[in-house]
Copies of this chain bind each other. A is one copy, B any other.
Amino acid sequence: MVSKEKSSGEPVAAAFLKPERGHPVTLREVAEAAGVSTATVSLVVNNKKDARISVQTRKRVRDAIKDLGYRPNAMAKTLVSGSSRFIGLVADAIATTPFAGQIIHGAQDEAWRHGYALLIANTEGNGDLEKDAISMMLEYKVRGILYSTWFHRPTEIPESLREADFVLVNCFSTEPGTRAVVPDEAQGGRSATEILLRHGHRRIAFINATIPAPAKDGRLEGYKEALEAAGIPLDPELVMEAYPDQEGGYEATPELLKRDVTAVYCYNDRMAMGLYDGLRDHGLSIPDDMAVVGFDNQEVIAAHLRPPLSTVSLPHYELGAAGVRMLLGLEEAPSNTAVKINCPTVERTSVRVQAPA
């Protein structure tokens, strides 16, 4: 197959041969530069070990590829191999919350580790967009799809999703056999309450959300478990409810102050941010007059309140990474329940040791 000689590898020649932008190097150009057939280049590119090509010829082809800056067509490769190296990720709120970004980050790192690229679609909760996104992914023959939601919730499984291998991320289905990965809300609620218990607090209020959600149930369950483990009887008066944002936290302040507590655990950081303002308006300081713990470790807020807020972190990065591992069969997925991921504690300075009464 060797028909002509060509020197290669000199930097000057390489620079001279580099393609102009917008004119990708073709297989044919590589073949001409290496003095071989396009079939030979193809065999070298696809790493067919059993093809009878001499070491010298392989080297000449590889040098030509390097000099010319040839990039094999990944889509042609996946057609040959019969499956693509894409994993699809459907997200419902990339643009409106900071949480989806962490799921993407974790999923991408894990996907790349195993040689897959992420094909991401942002639906902003629009059903038609979602349908189009899943169709597109199926047409690109993705290895599978991660279907994710920005807040932890039960979900219907879209019909078209069933055509793919899929894992639910930050959401779950009651259908048996559905793989899903979600945050461990109860453990998170327990950890949040334990921060306060560890600092000597005994009368601890919990301001839960008004909106039904797995987080509402789980975070309350964790609060109860932590109190019970510490031998403190549950006082139902200390469990309050508010809308889970800054305004809700602010407006809950007067009710909270009637409860005679030294500490409060808020359903989320946004609520804690509003409560900070409410307590200040009542002339109270954190942590001296009231210890405050949040939930979410929300970017932009938690670390920058005055004082910085102790909280537990939602494990979005880990949810994305675990979703990819489950999809690729690298991590076991129980068939009857969602896998729960730990919510780690992040301690700052909104809690201090409480002197015994």
Of A53-61, A68-76, A189-197, A339-347, which stretch is located at the interface? A68-76
Closest B residue to A247 by CB, please name it: B304
Given the complex of chains A and B, what is the CA–CA distance between A135 and B94 in angstroms?
24
Report B-chain residues with C-beta under 8 Å of the C-beta of A122.
101, 104-105, 108
* Copies of chain A in the complex: 2
Report B-chain residues with C-beta under 8 Å of the C-beta of A151.
none
Judged by a CB distance under 8 angstroms, whether A201 is at the interface is: no
Measured between C-beta atoms, what is the minimum distance from A275 to chain B in Å? Answer: 12
Judged by a CB distance under 8 angstroms, whether A328 is at the interface is: no
Measured between C-beta atoms, what is the minimum distance from A94 to chain B in Å? Answer: 4
Report B-chain residues with C-beta under 8 Å of the C-beta of A104.
94-95, 120, 122
Of A4-12, A111-119, A216-224, which stretch is located at the interface? A111-119
User: CB distance A140 to B163 under 8 Å?
Assistant: no
Of A18-26, A32-40, A179-187, A205-213, which stretch is located at the interface? A18-26
| Interface hits, A148-172 → B, CB 8 Å | 162-165
Judged by a CB distance under 8 angstroms, whether A198 is at the interface is: no
Judged by a CB distance under 8 angstroms, whether A257 is at the interface is: no
Report B-chain residues with C-beta under 8 Å of the C-beta of A255.
none
Closest B residue to A138 by CB, please name it: B71
Measured between C-beta atoms, what is the minimum distance from A159 to chain B in Å? Answer: 10
Report B-chain residues with C-beta under 8 Å of the C-beta of A95.
101-102, 104-105, 317
Given the complex of chains A and B, what is the CA–CA distance between A247 and B108 in angstroms?
33
| Interface hits, A269-288 → B, CB 8 Å | 270, 273-274, 277, 280
User: CB distance A141 to B105 under 8 Å?
Assistant: no
Judged by a CB distance under 8 angstroms, whether A297 is at the interface is: no
Closest B residue to A21 by CB, please name it: B162
Given the complex of chains A and B, what is the CA–CA distance between A309 and B122 in angstroms?
28
Partner of A75, one of B79, B105, B274: B79
Given known A102-B95, A119-B119, A122-B105, contact A163–B73 (CB-CB < 8 A): no
Give me 16 other A-B pairs in contact (C-beta within 8 A), A21-B163, A74-B139, A98-B300 excluded.
Answer: A73-B79, A74-B141, A75-B141, A79-B79, A94-B94, A94-B104, A95-B101, A95-B317, A104-B120, A108-B122, A117-B119, A117-B136, A250-B306, A280-B280, A298-B300, A300-B300
A and B contact pairs by CB, cutoff 8 A, 8 listed: A72-B139, A95-B102, A95-B104, A97-B299, A104-B120, A105-B122, A117-B136, A301-B301
What residues of chain A have their CB less than 8 Å away from a CB belonging to chain B?
A: 19, 21-22, 24, 69, 71-76, 78-79, 84, 94-98, 100-102, 104-105, 108, 112, 117-122, 124, 129, 132, 135-136, 138-141, 162-165, 245-247, 250, 270, 273-274, 277, 280, 298-301, 304-306, 317
Q: Which 10 A-B pairs have the closest CB atoms?
A: A95-B105, A74-B139, A246-B304, A94-B101, A75-B75, A95-B101, A120-B120, A98-B98, A74-B140, A95-B102
